[in-house]
């Protein structure tokens, strides 16, 4: 059986991106691999084996074109309202909290936030299948 191990994002500014993921999601640098042309930074925390890999191409100066295909990564948290308030206080400009219901039952509560390079991240209340 395959096991998901990381999601990779190309970023322009290593310090800015590491700072965002550290402050927003409590991730810290688990490993850093330096090459002549690029740097790979792996971020993780004790909540999961899954990592975020940041790829910094050293010759890149223009923002990446993220295209028009909608995609995102998601994190679940114990206190969605508290995290939303914390993100606002940190200046991350989270979008409003959404409640997704089906047949009168709450399926998910969440909000989205954008990282420094424009990637969308969903933050979900720990609930149901996201417990």
Q: Which residues are identified as catalytic?
A: 122
Distance from C-alpha of 84 to C-alpha of 93, rounded to nearest angstrom: 9
Are 101 and 107 in contact, with CB atoms under 8 Å apart? yes
The single-letter DSSP state of residue 78 is: S
Record the tokens describing residue 78, joined without a space.
């114990």
- The total of other beta-carbon atoms located within 10 Å of residue 120's CB is 15
In angstroms, rounded to a whole number, what is the distance separating the alpha carbons of residues 89 and 85? 6
Residue 47, sorted as left (phi over 0), alpha (psi -120 to 50) or beta, turns out to be alpha
């Amino acid at each position: 059986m395959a096991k998901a191990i990381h999601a990779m994002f190309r970023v322009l500014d290593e310090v800015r991106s590491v700072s965002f993921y550290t402050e927003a999601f409590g991730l810290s640098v688990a490993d850093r691999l330096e090459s002549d042309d690029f740097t790979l930074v792996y971020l993780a925390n004790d909540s999961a084996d899954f990592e975020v890999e940041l790829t910094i191409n050293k010759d890149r100066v223009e923002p990446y074109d993220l295209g028009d295909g909608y995609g995102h990564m998601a994190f679940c948290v114990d206190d969605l309202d508290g995290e939303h308030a914390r993100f606002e206080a940190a200046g991350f400009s989270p979008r409003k909290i959404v409640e997704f219901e089906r047949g009168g039952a709450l399926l998910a509560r969440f909000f989205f936030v954008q990282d420094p390079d424009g990637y969308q991240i969903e933050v979900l209340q720990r609930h149901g299948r996201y417990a």
